[in-house]
């Protein structure tokens, strides 16, 4: 087997991210709130040996213009812990990653929820640390406006220290359960955190034993300077939204370079760009499927999304003409330029561009046969653009079936993807070390004892 293996996370949310997905022929329009469908998908992902299933969270209805929002099936979804706790009882090996907000939640809540999920799943929990990108969330949590970006990241950094400190409240062997003498835990093996920082005050200890994995796997998705630095310091998995190989290589080198400066091994962090994958019998067939899917994005929805991406009202543009010149604006400059370049390069009409942007938000696309998709993935892996992918399926269940039944076997044949899980926990499968307890170094692992 090749030494470097592709890592796969499924970006489910819990349905497809594409806004036309629910209208595709044969797709499940009610996937978001249909537990039987979600369960079927995760079981297929586990049979295909995916590393993890990821459930995002935005703490509010998505902040899109109403013309787009009313047509999007991802505007509402399950609360991640409730969903993943239920799914943990129907799976055995696949990782379960939930978003947890450091802006709108409290570290004590987050620490105990993830510790609980880690026990319920026998060591498969992962925490996607976000500062919450949706400004509307503030309005649901008693605030008038969103906390400022830098401030959010400062709180996030302290939040991480508190949560991991709380997970270390108990030595792994604190719970002696001495039936004869009636002593349930050993008092010297309990640590009171007593944290008093700039943003947070938490006494502790946590009222749950140390998680099976020591700490659930730490995931980050921030792309800014502050986001990259916190990722290099703390993350074990990074989700990125990059759509081309040179930018991906630059991000990869940047984050892994920062890790080296901090004395962290570069293998202890896996970078997974989102990849929107459409599989066909030929490249032309796959492109036709993508066109059909994009065609299901209503023009109102596409134009509203395009306006947001351009930072300019696109509603007056001729739908069947080329993209006009757009004046400078305050919106993300690199994001806007990517859209303008794409329109020019592919000679797209405003309608096509709107459908593209309104569909899968302009993420990295892999559209082709199992062999061409495997080639592309292999190239990204070999040239240090990524350690794997955060796979987005175009429609469900067919898009997922195409991936697990056709792309996964091709990658396995090339020795690039596992045929069996290597370990029992998400950490073991990702090749990540189990963290030492910072207050009780060298104590025996409770989970190792339980399993051993």
Ligand X SMILES: Cc1cc2nc3c(=O)[nH]c(=O)nc-3n(C[C@H](O)[C@H](O)[C@H](O)COP(=O)(O)O)c2cc1C
The residues of the shown chain that bind ligand X, judged by CB under 6 A, are 11, 56-58, 99, 128, 130, 132-134, 221-224, 227, 239-241, 274, 390
Smaller CB distance to ligand X: residue 220 or 307?
A: 220
Question: How far apart are the C-alpha atoms of 432 and 382, rounded to whole Å?
Answer: 20
Q: Cβ of residue 401: shortest distance to ligand X, in angstroms? A: 22
Residue 328 three-state SS: coil
DSSP 97: E
Question: How far apart are the C-alpha atoms of 329 and 336, rounded to whole Å?
Answer: 9
DSSP 356: H
Question: 350-360 and 333-345 helices cross at what angle (nearest 10)?
Answer: 130
Smaller CB distance to ligand X: residue 28 or 239?
A: 239
Q: Cβ of residue 227: shortest distance to ligand X, in angstroms? A: 3
DSSP 325: P
Distance set, CA 386 to CA 121, 242, 308, 378, 393 (Å): 28, 10, 28, 10, 19
Smaller CB distance to ligand X: residue 146 or 351?
A: 146
Smaller CB distance to ligand X: residue 122 or 133?
A: 133
Do 106 and 141 touch, CB atoms closer than 8 A? Answer: no
Shortest-Cβ-distance residue relative to ligand X: 227
Residue 128 three-state SS: strand
Q: Cβ of residue 351: shortest distance to ligand X, in angstroms? A: 27
Q: Cβ of residue 115: shortest distance to ligand X, in angstroms? A: 20
Smaller CB distance to ligand X: residue 363 or 425?
A: 363
Q: Cβ of residue 219: shortest distance to ligand X, in angstroms? A: 9
Question: How far apart are the C-alpha atoms of 35 and 39, rounded to whole Å?
Answer: 6
Smaller CB distance to ligand X: residue 138 or 171?
A: 138
Q: Cβ of residue 452: shortest distance to ligand X, in angstroms? A: 36
Distance set, CA 260 to CA 183, 228, 264 (Å): 45, 13, 5
Residue 345 three-state SS: helix
For residue 303, what are the contacts with CB-CB under 8 A and spacing of at least 6? 67, 314, 315, 317, 350, 354, 358
Q: Cβ of residue 130: shortest distance to ligand X, in angstroms? A: 4
Smaller CB distance to ligand X: residue 221 or 308?
A: 221
Question: How far apart are the C-alpha atoms of 269 and 229, rounded to whole Å?
Answer: 13
Smaller CB distance to ligand X: residue 20 or 222?
A: 222
Q: Cβ of residue 248: shortest distance to ligand X, in angstroms? A: 12
């Amino acid at each position: 087997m090749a030494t470097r293996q592709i890592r796969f996370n499924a970006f489910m949310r819990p349905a497809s991210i594409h806004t036309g997905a629910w209208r595709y022929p044969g797709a499940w329009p009610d996937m978001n709130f249909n537990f039987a469908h979600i369960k079927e998908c995760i079981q297929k992902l586990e049979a295909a040996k995916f590393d993890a299933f990821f459930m995002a969270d935005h703490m509010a209805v998505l902040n899109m213009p109403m013309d787009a929002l009313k047509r999007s099936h991802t505007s509402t979804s399950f609360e991640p812990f409730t969903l993943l706790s239920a799914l943990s009882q129907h799976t055995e090996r696949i990782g379960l990653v939930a978003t947890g907000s450091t802006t709108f939640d409290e570290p004590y809540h987050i620490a105990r929820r993830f510790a609980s999920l880690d026990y319920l799943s026998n060591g498969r929990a992962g925490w996607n640390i976000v500062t919450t990108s949706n400004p509307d969330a503030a309005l649901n949590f008693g605030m008038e406006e969103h906390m400022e970006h830098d401030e959010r990241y400062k709180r996030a950094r302290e939040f991480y220290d508190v949560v991991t400190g709380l997970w270390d409240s108990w030595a792994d062997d604190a719970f002696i359960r001495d039936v004869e003498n009636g002593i349930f835990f050993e008092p010297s093996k309990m640590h009171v955190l007593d944290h008093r920082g700039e943003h947070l005050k938490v006494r502790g200890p946590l009222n749950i034993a140390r998680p099976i994995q020591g700490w659930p796997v730490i995931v980050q998705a921030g792309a800014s300077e502050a986001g990259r630095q916190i990722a290099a310091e703390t993350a074990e998995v990074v989700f990125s939204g990059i759509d081309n190989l040179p930018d991906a290589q630059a991000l990869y080198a940047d984050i892994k370079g920062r890790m080296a400066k901090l004395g962290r091994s570069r293998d202890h962090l896996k970078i997974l760009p989102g990849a929107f994958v459409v599989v066909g019998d030929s490249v032309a067939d796959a492109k036709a499927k993508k066109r059909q899917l994009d065609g299901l994005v209503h023009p109102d929805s596409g134009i509203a999304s395009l306006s947001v991406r351009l930072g300019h009202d696109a509603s007056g543009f001729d739908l069947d003409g080329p993209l006009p010149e757009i004046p400078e604006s305050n919106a993300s400059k690199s994001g806007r330029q990517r859209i303008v370049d794409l329109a020019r390069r592919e000679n797209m009409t405003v309608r096509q561009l709107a459908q593209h942007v309104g569909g899968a938000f302009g993420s990295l696309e892999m559209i082709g046969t199992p062999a061409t998709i495997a080639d592309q993935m292999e190239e990204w892996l070999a040239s240090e653009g990524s350690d794997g992918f955060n796979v987005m399926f175009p429609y469900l269940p067919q898009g997922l079936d195409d991936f697990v039944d056709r792309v996964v076997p091709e990658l396995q044949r090339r020795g690039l993807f596992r045929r069996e899980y290597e370990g029992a926990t998400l950490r073991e499968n990702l090749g990540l070390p189990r963290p030492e307890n910072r207050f009780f170094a060298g104590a025996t692992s409770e989970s190792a004892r339980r399993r051993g």
